[in-house]
Amino acid sequence: MNPITGTPAKPTAPAQQTAEPSQPVLELRDAAVRVGGRTLWSGVDLQVQAGEFVAVLGPNGVGKSTMVKVLLGVLPAAAGEVRVLGERPGQVNQRVGYLPQRRNFDAGLRIRGLDVVRLGLDGDHWGIPLPGRGRRDRERVAEVVDLVGASAYAHRPIGQCSGGEQQRLLIAQALVRRPEVLLLDEPLDSLDLPNQSAVAALIGRICHQQGVAVVMVAHDVNPILHHLDRVVYLAEGGAVAGTPAEVITSETLTRLYGTPVEVLRTSDGRLVVVGQPEAPSTHGGHHAAG
């Protein structure tokens, strides 16, 4: 039994018992992806262990959400190897929590926060309660709502919750099945600064205290910088992974993007990346990175 998540120790299959204890939860080896006949990124090497927090960074349109889709098995890798919990992507999605890129709830939406969280449990059987599961499910929903600090407003219609409250409830939805991997696509987008740091700290706690491997797509690295173990910077055609200190430097990003990029550190420790190319062109003009 995991003392923090309450995840029961799973009877491991014989094949898994022989696995190295340090077997990565997520692994990409020389991975590449193609959409619409175009290679978005390639040469991605990344290993994520349990309890590690990794950010996927890069300009708009570079293929960050597409990387999440590859990890979910929605889209195949065009080259290389991808493994999720030792399996092909998509094989073990019930052990993966996923928060898609931001969608807004209509202010008039009457469904309660609690019900939104519960959808994370009901995904398999479309809200038809399974006999004998009602109480256990209610307790699990209450537990995870408490974990994300949403108890005070989870009974309200979600359309009447603030952006930060909605995002906490959606994180609870992604967590309700006690995933071992959490894939979060720009979860801090559209939150104000205090909410960005609060939600970043919450995700950092879930990751480091509960041993969940977190892969978070982010537009701005600053709110999560102090919680991160590793970053992957994607560029048109290339990618570089490593610790933030290794990757987020003028030298590394200049090499990756093939154009002068300057990384400045402000007096309060924030990183400012200047000169990073914007959305890669979709009609020619490709330049080799690196």
Ligand X SMILES: Nc1ncnc2c1ncn2[C@@H]1O[C@H](COP(=O)(O)OP(=O)(O)O)[C@@H](O)[C@H]1O
Question: Among 47, 65, 190, 197, which residue sits at the site for ligand X (rule: CB under 6 A)?
Answer: 65
3-state secondary structure of 38: strand
> Total number of residues binding ligand X (CB under 6 A)?
11
Among ligand X, Mg ion, none, partner that 227 touches (CB below 5 to 8 angstroms by kind):
none
Contact 77, 27 (CB under 8 A): no
- The stretch among 21-29, 56-64, 103-111, 154-162 that binds ligand X (CB under 6 A) is 56-64
- Give backbone dihedrals phi and psi of 253, rounded to 5 degrees, phi first: -75, -30
Contacts of 56 (CB under 8 A, 6+ apart): 64, 67, 68, 215, 216, 217, 218, 231, 232, 234
Question: Among 7, 29, 34, 61, which residue sits at the site for ligand X (rule: CB under 6 A)?
Answer: 61
Question: Among 60, 128, 269, 288, which residue sits at the site for ligand X (rule: CB under 6 A)?
Answer: 60
Among ligand X, Mg ion, none, partner that 36 touches (CB below 5 to 8 angstroms by kind):
ligand X
Label residue 259 left, alpha or beta by phi (over 0 means left) and psi (-120 to 50 means alpha): beta
Question: Among 48, 52, 55, 66, which residue sits at the site for ligand X (rule: CB under 6 A)?
Answer: 66
Please say which residue, 138 or 219, places its beta carbon nearer to ligand X.
Answer: 219
- For residue 69, the minimal CB distance to Mg ion (Å) is 10
Rule CB under 5 A: is residue 197 a binding residue for Mg ion? no
Rule CB under 5 A: is residue 65 a binding residue for Mg ion? yes
Instruction: Give the β-pairing of 181-185 and 213-217.
Output: parallel
Question: Among 24, 48, 55, 63, which residue sits at the site for ligand X (rule: CB under 6 A)?
Answer: 63
Rule CB under 6 A: is residue 281 a binding residue for ligand X? no
- For residue 183, the minimal CB distance to Mg ion (Å) is 12
Contact 213, 51 (CB under 8 A): yes
Buried b (16+ CB within 10 A) or exposed e, 235-253: bbbbbbbeebeebbbeebb
- For residue 236, the minimal CB distance to ligand X (Å) is 10
Residue 253: which of 57, 39, 122 has the closest Cα? 57
The Cβ of residue 165 has, within 10 Å, a number of other Cβ atoms equal to 20
Radius of gyration of the chain (CA): 20
Rule CB under 6 A: is residue 285 a binding residue for ligand X? no
Rule CB under 6 A: is residue 166 a binding residue for ligand X? no
Binding map of ligand X across residues 13-42, x = CB under 6 A, - = no contact: ----------------------xx---x--
Rule CB under 5 A: is residue 39 a binding residue for Mg ion? no
Interface with ligand X (CB under 6 A): 35-36, 40, 60-66, 282
